Amino acid sequence: MLAEFLLTLATPAGRMTRQLGLLRESTALWARGLRQRESWAPHHQRCQALVTQIVGELERHRIVVVLGSGLVRDVPLDLLCARFQRVVLIDAVHLPQVRLRMALRRNVELVTRDLTGVMSWLAGEGQGRSDPLADLSADTEVDLVISANLMSQLAWPIEDWLEGNGDRAAAFPKDLPAHCIAWHLQDLERFAGRICLISDVEMLEHDRDGTVTDRLDLARGVPLPPPDERWDWQVAPFGEAERDREYVHRVCAWRNFQKDMIKRQRGW
């Protein structure tokens, strides 16, 4: 707890990033990932193996963009650095340990950015959404984009903020959290390079008898094409969040997201 608190103090983050709970969540994710190193390992290995395969399939390796890079646990960083000319890691929060690790890498750039595009709007500093990936999606040298366990995380901070700011919530679309997910998918579709999307799409709560006691649609009803791969991620085994409840997230992966979206639009 003390380490998390000190990290919160040591990490540069804007007012809305803090207000939306993203800084707190990043430090919590760091600590939970250390505690749950073993139960999270299969998930990280699946993600890394998938990205490794895709990198091997690409003809060109100029720029790779990782969205929701966080602690850079779910992408094969050494491989990306070795194969690509530029590795761009984008997140709303880059913790000091990530900044330090990346400072040693010649071709890695850390970009701090809100990938919902709505933070300034919520803060009353803009009208409507701003396009968070306008510059990068126009860059024809981006050969690979990895949305790395980010998509589901775009909704809950907005939900919490709208709930906590009831007096201002009426000024925004009621389904803004789901819109943030749908906009992210549209942002991805605009890239000319290969898109790999990995995200948890459902949360299951189990009791000790294995009965499902609760479930939550992490995609907030936004339709998605059939995934290429799916697996379970034991996010919080018994005792992590609650003594008699475990939380398992269903993860889906799309190896070539634009192609999957085109197929879906054409009803193939």
Ligand X SMILES: C[S@@+](CC[C@H](N)C(=O)[O-])C[C@H]1O[C@@H](n2cnc3c(N)ncnc32)[C@H](O)[C@@H]1O
Q: Which residues bind ligand X (CB under 6 A)?
A: 22, 26, 29, 68-74, 91-93, 114-116, 148-150, 153-154
Cβ contacts of 165 within 8 Å, gap of 6 or more: none
- Of the candidates 131, 138, 268, the one whose C-alpha atom is nearest the C-alpha of residue 193 is 138
Q: Is the distance from CB of 121 to CB of 168 less than 8 angstroms?
A: no
Closer to ligand X at the Cβ: 207 or 250? 250
Q: Taking the complex as a whole, how short is the minimal distance between the CB of residue 59 and ligand X, in angstroms?
A: 25
Determine how many CB atoms are found less than 10 A away from the CB of residue 127.
8
Closer to ligand X at the Cβ: 104 or 209? 104
Q: Taking the complex as a whole, how short is the minimal distance between the CB of residue 3 and ligand X, in angstroms?
A: 17
SS (H, E, C) 208-220: CCCCEEEEEECCC
What 3-state DSSP class applies to 236?
strand
What 3-state DSSP class applies to 105?
coil
Q: Taking the complex as a whole, how short is the minimal distance between the CB of residue 265 and ligand X, in angstroms?
A: 26
Closer to ligand X at the Cβ: 207 or 232? 232
Closer to ligand X at the Cβ: 80 or 154? 154
Structure tokens at 230: 């799916």
What 3-state DSSP class applies to 202?
strand
Closer to ligand X at the Cβ: 115 or 181? 115
Q: Taking the complex as a whole, how short is the minimal distance between the CB of residue 208 and ligand X, in angstroms?
A: 26
Q: How many residues would you count in the chain?
A: 268
Q: Taking the complex as a whole, how short is the minimal distance between the CB of residue 268 and ligand X, in angstroms?
A: 30
Closer to ligand X at the Cβ: 32 or 83? 32
Strands 108-112 and 86-91: parallel
Q: Taking the complex as a whole, how short is the minimal distance between the CB of residue 155 and ligand X, in angstroms?
A: 9
Q: Cα dihedral angle (237, 231, 72, 96), rounded to 10 degrees?
A: -20
Closer to ligand X at the Cβ: 32 or 61? 32
Please calculate the CA angle 217-1-101 and round it to the nearest 5 degrees: 80
Give phi and psi for 225, each to the nearest 5: -70, 165
Q: Taking the complex as a whole, how short is the minimal distance between the CB of residue 70 and ligand X, in angstroms?
A: 3
- The residue number whose beta carbon is nearest to ligand X equals 70
